[in-house]
Structure 1
Amino acid sequence: MLEALFAAVAEAVFGYLLQESSLAERTRTALGLDPTRRAFQTALARAYTAFARNYPEWTASLFDQPFLTSPTVVPLLATLLTRRGQPDPAHLARLFAAHLGHSDPDRWERLGDATCAAADFLTWLEAELARQDALQPLYDSRALERIAEHTGAIRRALEALAHNRQTAADLDLLRQALRDGQITLATGERAVAL
């Protein structure tokens, strides 16, 4: 039964990613989908097992296939899979409350508990995704796409910094580029020097 859950969630997340991608990426993804999908399912299985062990009341309360494959949750899981950000656990908890039928999720008395459970689930899933070697090319290709998009902006921000004309937006871009490792690849210089 759980295997069907993980397969359905993987199908929903990868289907969402394919809809959001370019034709070239859809073709590339279709050719190499199986190992990536299996790696995602493995990571999901491990994270869900830890979640079920620590929060059995939530897994018994519909934290299940219809919830995890819903159109509101799938983009959050896709964001985590592609390392485009960490979904907000409180948002996931509110979605869960709405899934349970609460008309005003912000007034649900168990929202705090659900937020803690959601935070743990997202943390475990993120850690398990990072352990999957088959997902590394997905992360690398996303990083390279971001570098190609931001190389000019990074160079301009570094130039502004060198001449002490940087703006707050320049500093934000450089901080993010440093965290993502883009400065080294965009400039050919050592990030440590910055």
Structure 2
Amino acid sequence: MARYTGPKTKIARKFGEAIFGDDKSFEKRNYPPGQHGNNRRRGKKSEYAIQLAEKQKAKYTYGILERQFRNMFKKATSSPGITGEVLLQLCEGRLDNVVYRMGIAPSRRAARQLVSHRHITVNGEKVNIPSFQCKPGDVVAVREKSKSLEAIQNSLANASHVYEWITWNAETMQGTYVSVPQRLQIPENINEQFIVELYSK
């Protein structure tokens, strides 16, 4: 797969925010990457550059490739509701993202690996497709044999975020994707309108 596996901090510095979660390296060097860093004179960005940067930020945040992202945009366009909002809701509904939001994995990249390695079940069935779209009411759980995995135990112990559209039962190690999140409930700092404008050209 053509998944990005390079340095995460470099990408975070490019966008000026820690899009991959807490990052000590980013905090130390909170300026653009490259030889000249802070001193590089950057002219005013064009409208296209701003829109493109926003799309790239969304893709890197959720770990989605261009073709997948474009297909999601087409699906969002044909769905009822505000296109940009629906696009982000589709991103949030991906199984790897739901696993990350539940605290089973410390990052989306780690969540993707847990799903791919068959450690996660949806409604009692093993699912190993990270892009699987969860529907409201779906029960996402850690597979019985995987409950003792140290990586999962550590992640759950350090999980502190609570999201209104997800419930989690620590005893049974399963949660429910209760509803599709509203835009205000999605914490990601993404201006989806720029993405819509870019793809609409």
TM-score scaled by length of structure 2? 0.28
**Who wins on radius of gyration, i.e. which is larger?**
1
Q: Name the structure with the higher helix share.
A: 1
Give the TM-score normalised by structure 1: 0.29
Structure showing the higher strand proportion among its residues: 2
